[in-house]
Amino acid sequence: MPYTTHADLGGRPDFGPVEQNAEDSVFHAAWESRVLALTLAMGATGCWNLDMVRAARETLPDYLDLSYYEIWLGGLEELLVAKSLVTAEELAAGRARHPPRPVSGILTADQVAALLAKGSPTERTPSGPARYRLGQRVVTRATPVDHHTRLPDYLRGRTGIIERILGPHVFADSHAQGLGEDPQWLYTVVFEGRELWGTEAAPGHRVSFDAWQPYLEPA
């Protein structure tokens, strides 16, 4: 089956205004906090990485009909079955029917705060020089790919200018496919609004995007 992402919504019309929640509104229902806890606990097992999680979520066929934490739960269920940690029958029954598989890591409650504070840094040691320099004009990859990518559709085939060089970082496209970290140089590229939206763009409007080197070619 071809890879289909349902999460690439940037620049697409007809989704209505963004509804802003109150700053102190974290969860809308009690079950949402449990989904967050399950996601953190299972992420600590080492059975998958963050980019695999994103790929699982964005390919949910009912993505557009789900709430934020429903998407989290759906992605988690997909990964649990894909990694043979549970079966589809167990999910449907709501209880285990087979002995649990061993995992490499277990997150306990007293470790959560330190884990969240630490985060997951993605910067890596360079294995070679950066291909592009500050101020250089570049064009983004125009063709779609058949796997998870962080290059949104509205930026494909667009010309911008390198504004910052951020160093090598874990390459999400490879990481999501289980191909290792594959560190690639990361750049902040600035695009003029009219390059993206044509005459509908407001004068002076610009968009900055952090793009990995494989997304770019010299303009």
**Residue among 28, 48, 53, 38 nearest 91 (CA):** 38
What pLDDT was estimated at residue 14?
Answer: 87
Sorted by where each starts, the structural domains of the chain and their CATH numbers stand as 30-118 (1.10.472.20), 137-218 (2.30.30.50)
b (16+ CB within 10 A) / e for 47-71: bbbebbbbbbbbbbeebeebeebbb
Residue 97 has pLDDT above 80, yes or no: yes
- Has residue 66 got a pLDDT over 80? yes
Q: What average pLDDT does the segment 68-94 reach? A: 96
pLDDT over 90 at 1, yes or no: no
Instruction: Read off the pLDDT of residues 166-218 as tens digits, 9 standing for 90 and up.
Output: 999 999 999 999 999 999 999 999 999 999 999 989 999 999 999 999 999 99
Task: Specify the residue for token string 């010299």.
Answer: 218
User: To the nearest whole number, what is the mean pLDDT of the chain?
Assistant: 95
The average pLDDT across 21-43 equals 91
Q: How confident is the model at residue 25 (pLDDT cuts 50, 70, 90)?
A: confident
pLDDT confidence bin for 17, thresholds 50/70/90 = confident
pLDDT for the residue numbered 153: 96
Quote the pLDDT of residue 137: 98
pLDDT for position 108: 94
For residue 49, pLDDT beyond 90: yes
What are the tens digits of pLDDT across the range 117-151?
A: 998 899 999 989 999 999 999 999 999 999 999 99
Residue 22 has pLDDT above 90, yes or no: no
